[in-house]
Structure 1
């Protein structure tokens, strides 16, 4: 049973029907909500999710860029699973102020199942809540004793689960041993993929970044590839904008036909509902066209712009500035897949020029046995 909304600002993914005063799904925004839940359940951390969302130009309901808090609040919002919740916030204090983040006891909170249309499944929502509860008990990267450069980017090639950092402390008869290990290996016993030494996989990724991207020989070729990719992307977006423009004209024409019919005395109750639907579709198309038109602004990528960015990475790597190296890896590494017999890295190049995001990706892989031989030899083992 849908609930009538008494004022308030709807969350991302919803609008309030002006006639029924009930939540209705905004499909353009709902796509963003579904992607956020999908990324989170796929093992992406907040930082990595923010990068992906901002690269795609996604905004919050109020038009701001996504941050950790906005993603956290979205993931814990029960409305997305179809449950309308009210009487959640604690009462005002003695000074008349209310803390929206402080909730009442669970018994006092009123929940109406099916009170709003669901954007995601109950199952996915519960999985997200369980993951958030686990992360709260086990703080992540920024509180860890060991820094894992590939946190949120590295996945198991056998079962698809995210790999997690594993630390065996140093003791009298054995050295410190730090690895990435499949989360399914310990939790469900459903994966037998071996853990991999942290220094081996991280050294390989950093070496490939420098060898394939951050060097003078690669820059001219990379500039050409990026500009070709941009041209192809712009052509595709131009076609998409054109198709949306045709649909927008059709919607405007339908709106005009209804207005003409009403002016001529032909009125049906269904016209009101249809008019509301058409107005929302018109608004959605106009926003999408505007968004794609902004992204379609072509800016030529130059060798100097790439050299400046790559120079920064080399400086951070030389200084062993681990937090900054982590930021660069988050920007240029899309995914690392570790299978039993080989390791595959998908790199991406994403540069922002004013309002334009340009993304180009490529892959590299190595056999696990060769990876071990190379870095054991480098370490003198």
Structure 2
């Protein structure tokens, strides 16, 4: 009697095309084949709602692993080649792999013999299956793009802060939008992911899945242009062969659909860009490093042209933070000396405040603030609305009093007069309070100087290093450090229209000799002597050249 061959069956259906009954039908065909060919099906491997464009399917992978580890079965029954895989290379590779494990792959509805003609036919069927899958994907993408050009939602879970209406348009979910605004506001102010996450979770906000916030949740929210009203589609790269997608990778700009004002904005464009600019400027701070360095990314080596990075210098009695040339770390030759962070940071902050907030600038700032303040006194919306409301309330009350004089009073009219009187009283108090605050209010230069001193204290506070780092990165072009000098170039960018995002900018340079840096920070430097020495050196170099 012929020996019975032990076999297993593999069945699959995809969520977009088949239903669960498809598995039952596939099993029936395989059982009929097994009965006719003296086979015993000892187990089933079934992938439900899984696409065949990838082999990253749980049951499929379990079948491969079982076949590798000395299986009881010697054959795998599959209904058709498209159930096994719709990718030609995967279909060939895994069929060959199973055969190397001593397991034969049998397609019960498509017979392939062990000859060149059948091998060719198998490759052709694999190509047809792959074509079907790729053509279907293209047609689906065509429909999605058409929806995208109409700014319609294209499927999946809507972003936090949005719901989808019956016309497939995004609408704001106000409760969720509160969390989104908080994320952008805290990020724009320089708060880290950890601080923002803690506040969100304390306030009871949840992600779209109803889970507590984590770092990846915030990363994707901050980069999503929909929150500033820009509808965007087809931004993320496609999944790889294992059906894994890296959402941080972006497609080329020409493939992305981007429509300004295509959906309701939850935050302003300015806040969106500011929050992302802060994250970009301070991204080196969000690492596993124990220390944050204020000026990393800005410092260039005057000896070799490399960049400086932050480092820790351990001594017997204490530990110091320093900036040092990266060329030393990378074992390239560089004779530059490291520099203490506290000395360089203090010098840069002091010169930043001194340059941008000198006496001439303080006069301009004071004048502009007073002009804005006086302008707000005249055009303040709430104040003007309150005055208009007071006139309407007084007129309504007077009309009611006249009606009472003609017809007599009743409880309804009495209550209405009391209501008007109460509203008139509150509105008049608001107007009086507002006008009292506005009378003779003049911002002085001394007040501005006091605020600038507070700003300097703010910059020096280590708790504010991330926000300070962002501010300095916007106004420092570069810092060059040689073994002799420290040179800081401040930049003020300006466009013809007057905003600060233009291509035109002026540069102001501050320089100090390294040997005077400590004295400067401690306010002991003799600048007159320093300038004389600097002048003498220039004259000496001139005579030498002559």
Task: With the length of structure 2 as denominator, give the TM-score of the two structures.
Answer: 0.29
* Structure with more contact order per residue of length (Cα contacts < 8 Å, sep ≥ 6): 1
Larger Rg: 2
Task: With the length of structure 1 as denominator, give the TM-score of the two structures.
Answer: 0.40
